[in-house]
Each structure stands twice: as structure tokens, then as C-alpha cells.
Amino acid sequence: MEKRVYEVWKGRNNFCLGGRLIFGPDARSILVSASMIIVPVIIFCNFIGKHLLHEFPSYNAGYMIVVAPYLFTIYVLVLLLLTSSRDPGIVPRNLHPPEEELNSVAGGNKTPSIQLPRTKEVVVNGVSVRVKYCDTCMLYRPPRCSHCSICNNCVERFDHHCPWVGQCIGLRNYRFFFLFVSSSTLLCIYVFSMSALYIKILMRDYNGTIWAAMRESPLAVVLMAYCFISLWFVGGLTGFHLYLISSNQTTYENFRYRSDNRMNVYDQGCAGNFREVFCTKIKPSRNKFRAFMQEVHRPPPPATTSRESGGEESGPEDRRVKVEDDMDLGGDLLKVSQRHHDIKDIYSRHHSSSEFDSVLGSDTHDLLNAMNSHVHESRNYAAPMTFV
Ligand SMILES: [Zn+2]
Ligand SMILES: [Zn+2]
């Protein structure tokens, strides 16, 4: 039985519904977080809210006291699910170290031991930014990308790994995470305020002190205390993330670079930063978890001609295998490039060049493009990387 991508996934993720949902390794914490929201709301609606129904002039409007928190809780839980069950922005791992680096380091020769630059400089908004090489994912992390040690993946615009939602917070789920936290804050404020109102009504009805009212409804007191403590947490987090969004920082960058006084190259002004988080289209996932492994490394259709003279006819599929073998060796990239042009020559006689692009497969094509492009960078050599 042919395997799908999520079945041979190297990160520590949990998948549900045949790879449609992706969770972090600590996904069970979602159940704890959800029950910390659901249980207080149920207690409030059943033991406090129902006494408040008649306090409002219009009896039907009074029902909103209990209907509204239920509806809002569903909204908060949907946000929780959207945060924790989608790809946070995982950068797909490379099967091989980046060949353009090997090419420039090895100078086209097969070298048994090659030092790969540990960092390289890329230009972001006209400013040079240093990006690191990830040994696990075998790639140079894009700017703002970091490797999550809990999920074992490189995640774009990595914010932090949230144990409460059991998932990394990154480029593709930050918006939902912020809405989840801020909505939870509003729910907390609502339950706290309504419980306080109930205590006030009890004081009026019984002509008593606050202590007498609290003795009358200990559940309201417990809910107020619970919401007060939770507010420090979710309210504080909402305020902190409002500050981060306004200054276009991630939690990781804030903790890591706070003392460095670095210039923030991503800052577009307060309004622009909010627009970036809330009004831009979320990038599609770079991973096709449900694709079959063969689809990811799709073989090209058989060729009708061959330029090689003598021996058996060799189609592009055979050539591609050879190309990949060469990549395994990590050397002789000029030969690979030559074959790329050879195959393209053959193809251009029978097909359009766009067909050639789709046939070659994106990974190989990216690699060959990278080989043919001129890369400007400065290097910082550190630990050696050995290839056999
Ligand atoms: Zn990584
Ligand atoms: Zn993570």
C-alpha cells in the first residue's frame, strides 16, 4: 500500500482524519484548555445566568444573558481548533543539503568532507539579515523562521510553541491564535461582570452586606475568582500580543533580541503591521500531507527519443534517477546542470517548456534553478559537515 506524506512525516506531529488536520505532539492539552472554557460557562449559565433572566425589562432579551455566552464559547472553540489543527507554516524538509552551497564550497569537485556555511546573509527590505542553516531540515531558514524543538519542524514567522493549544504559533495560525486569546479575554470579562452583577442583585434583594450575598451564592464567588485569575493570564497575553503586532515582532524575536536594540526591518508602521496580521491573505500550506509519496516525487512520462547512442534506450525517468544519484554524492553538479539542459533539449522538440517544468518535479527544478542563479552572500564557517 502506497504511503501518504503524513504517514512518513519526520516531525513529531499528530495527524487526524487522514492527514487533513495536523496537531502538535502535545495536542491533548487542547482538551484541558477547552474544558477550562466550557465548564465555567456551563456553571455560569445554569446556576447564575438563569437568575438574571428576569432582571431585564424585556423577558426575551433576558435570554441573551445565557444564549450569548454559549454562542461566544462555540466561536472561541472554533478559533482554538483553527489554531491547533492547521499547518502553522512548516517549511518542508530537504532530502539533501542545499546543492548551490555545495557547488560553491566544493567548486564542482567531489569532496569527502565539506564545510557548509552555518549562516548566510539575505537582504530584507534593503537590510542584510543573517539566516541560519538547520541541520535537521537541511535548509537555510527563511528570515523569521525558527526550528521548534517540540514539534521538530522549521516554522515560518515562528512566534512560540503554545502548550495550551498544543501547536506551534507561526505564519499561518497567528491570526487565529490572537483572536482565540482576545476572545477568551472577552468571555472572562463577561462571566466576571455578570457574576458580580448577580452578587449586587442579591445584596439588594436581601438588604444585606456583600458577605451575606457571597454566602448566598458561593458559586458566583468561585466564578469571579476563577475569571479574575484567568484575566491576568489571557488579558495580559492579549495586551502583550497587541504590542507585538503593533511593532511587528514575534514573541521569539522579542525575547531573543530585546537586549540587542536591533532595528526591526519588518516594521511598516502601526496600521501597516495590523494590516499584515489581520487583512492579508494567509499563505497556502507548503506541505501536501495527503499526497502520495510518489506524487511528491512524480516521475515524468516516458520519452519517445533518446540522444544517447548505443546500449538500451534511456528515457527521462532513467536520467532523473541518475540526476538524483548525483545529488546524493553532493558533487559534480556541472554534469547535473548539463543533463538538465540535455533533457530540456529533448523535451523542447516534443513538448512545451511548461510541460517540462511540471514533469521535472518542483524540488529538482528548484534545485536546478538555484544552481543556475547567482547567489550573493557572505559566509561564516563553523562546524564541519561530512558527506560520504
Ligand atoms: Zn529545522
Ligand atoms: Zn511546535
CA distance 229 to 218: 17
Averaged pLDDT, 218-238? 95
pLDDT value at position 181? 97
Contact 143, 124 (CB under 8 A): yes
For residue 168, which ligand has an atom nearest its CA?
Answer: 2
DSSP string, 216-235: H-HHHHHHHHHHHHHIIIII
Q: Per-residue pLDDT tens for 88-140?
A: 999 999 888 876 666 655 555 545 455 677 888 888 888 888 889 999 998 99
CA distance 126 to 265: 9
**What pTM did the predictor assign?**
0.73
- CA 97–ligand 1 middle distance (angstroms): 12
- CA 145–ligand 1 middle distance (angstroms): 9
- Using the CB atoms, write b or e for 204-224: b if 16+ within 10 Å: eeeeeeeeebbebbeebbebb
Averaged pLDDT, 284-311? 62
- CA 135–ligand 1 middle distance (angstroms): 7
Query: Which cell is 359 given?
Result: 514533469
- CA 170–ligand 2 middle distance (angstroms): 9
Averaged pLDDT, 157-175? 95
Q: Per-residue pLDDT tens for 199-213?
A: 998 888 877 788 888
CA distance 101 to 134: 13
- CA 156–ligand 1 middle distance (angstroms): 10
Query: Which cell is 334 given?
Result: 556541472
For residue 156, which ligand has an atom nearest its CA?
Answer: 1
- Known active-site residue 162: yes
pLDDT value at position 97? 80
> Quick one: which of 297, 249, 305 has its CA closest to 277?
249
CA distance 35 to 27: 14
Q: Around Cβ 156, how many Cβ atoms within 10 Å?
A: 21
For residue 10, which ligand has an atom nearest its CA?
Answer: 1
Q: How far is CA 133 from CA 141, 214, 270, 314, 345, in A?
A: 6, 60, 31, 37, 35
pLDDT value at position 358? 35
| pLDDT band at residue 317 using 50, 70 and 90 as cut-offs | very low
- CA 150–ligand 2 middle distance (angstroms): 5
134, 148, 151, 162: which is the annotated catalytic residue? 162
State the chain's mean pLDDT as an integer: 76
Q: Per-residue pLDDT tens for 20-47?
A: 999 999 989 999 999 999 999 999 999 9
Contact 114, 106 (CB under 8 A): yes
- CA 149–ligand 2 middle distance (angstroms): 7
